Structure 1
Amino acid sequence: MSSPAIRPDSSTQQNLFKIADRVLPGSGLGSYSLARDIRLIYSHGKGSRMWDVDGNEYIDYVGGAGALILGHCHPSVVEAAKAQFERGSHMFGSLNDTAIHLAERLVQDIPCAEKIAYATTGSEATAYAMRLARAFTGRDKILKFEGAYHGNHDYAIVSTFPKQTGDYPQGKADSYGQPQATVSTMLVCPYNDLDTLRKVVAEHHAEIAAIIAEAVQRIIPADAEFLQGIREICDEYDILFVLDEVVTGFRLGYGGAQQWYDVEPDLSTHGKVIGGGGPLSCIAGRADIIGLSDPNLKGQAGYTYLNGTLHGNPVAAAATMAMLDELSKPGVYDRMNDFAYDLCRESQKVLDQHRIPAITQHTGSLWQILFMDKPPRNQADMLASDQVAMRRLDALLMKQGQYVLPGVRRFVSTVHTTEDLEDSLRGLDTACRMFNKL
Structure 2
Amino acid sequence: CRAVPCAEQIRFCGSGSEATFFALRVARAFRQRDKILKFEGGFHGVHDYSLMSVGPRAPKAFPAPTPDSAGIPHAIQGEVLVAPFNDVAEAEAMIEAHHHDLAAVIMEPLQRLVVPQPGFLQGVREVTARRGVPLIFDEIVTGFRFAYGGAPEYYGVVPDLAAFGKIIGGGFPLAAVAGRRDIMKHFSHEMSEGGFVQQAGTLNGNPIAAAAGLATLAELRRPGTYERLFATGTRLRQGLEAAARRAGLAAQVAGEAPVFEIYFTDRPITDYRATLSADQALHAAFTRELLTRGVVKAAQKFYVSLVHTDVEVARTLEVFDEALTAVAGTSH
TM-score by length of 1: 0.73
Distance 2:190 2:133 in 1: 26
SS in 2 for 1:206: coil
Q: What does 1:5-20 correspond to in 2, within 5 Å?
A: none
Q: What does 1:39-438 correspond to in 2, within 5 Å?
A: 107-297=1-191, 300-406=193-299, 408-438=300-330
Q: Which structure exhibits the higher relative contact order, with contacts defined as CA atoms closer than 8 Å and separated by 6 or more residues?
A: 1
| Residue matched to 1:22 | none
Distance 1:187 1:173 in 2: 12
Q: Count how many residue pairs are aligned between Structure 1 and Structure 2.
A: 330
Distance 1:410 1:333 in 2: 17
Contact 1:358 1:373 in 2 (8 A): yes
Code of the aligned partner of 1:368: E
SS in 1 for 2:238: helix
| Structure 1 residues not aligned, in runs of 5+ | 1-106
**Larger Rg: 1 or 2?**
1
SS in 2 for 1:110: coil
Distance 2:301 2:169 in 1: 21
Deviation at 1:437, TM superposition (A): 3.0
Contact 1:165 1:379 in 2 (8 A): no
Deviation at 1:123, TM superposition (A): 0.3
| Structure 2 residues not aligned, in runs of 5+ | none
Distance 1:360 1:195 in 2: 26
SS in 1 for 2:178: strand
Deviation at 1:325, TM superposition (A): 0.6
- Deviations along 1:274-318, one digit per CA (max 9) or x if unpaired, are 111111111101011111011343x62211111111111111111
Distance 2:15 2:313 in 1: 32
Deviation at 1:374, TM superposition (A): 4.8
SS in 1 for 2:311: helix
- Deviations along 1:304-359, one digit per CA (max 9) or x if unpaired, are 11111111111111111111111001111111111111111122222111112113
Distance 1:362 1:198 in 2: 24
Distance 2:267 2:237 in 1: 14
RMSD of Structure 2 on Structure 1 (CA) = 1.3
SS in 2 for 1:362: strand
Deviates more, 1:287-296 or 1:141-150: 287-296
Contact 1:165 1:380 in 2 (8 A): no
Distance 2:278 2:25 in 1: 35
Distance 2:86 2:286 in 1: 28
Distance 2:267 2:230 in 1: 21
Distance 2:292 2:180 in 1: 47
Code of the aligned partner of 1:432: L
Distance 2:9 2:76 in 1: 29
Distance 2:59 2:114 in 1: 16
Deviates more, 1:117-126 or 1:343-352: 343-352
Change (3 A) 1:120 1:108: same
TM-score by length of 2: 0.96
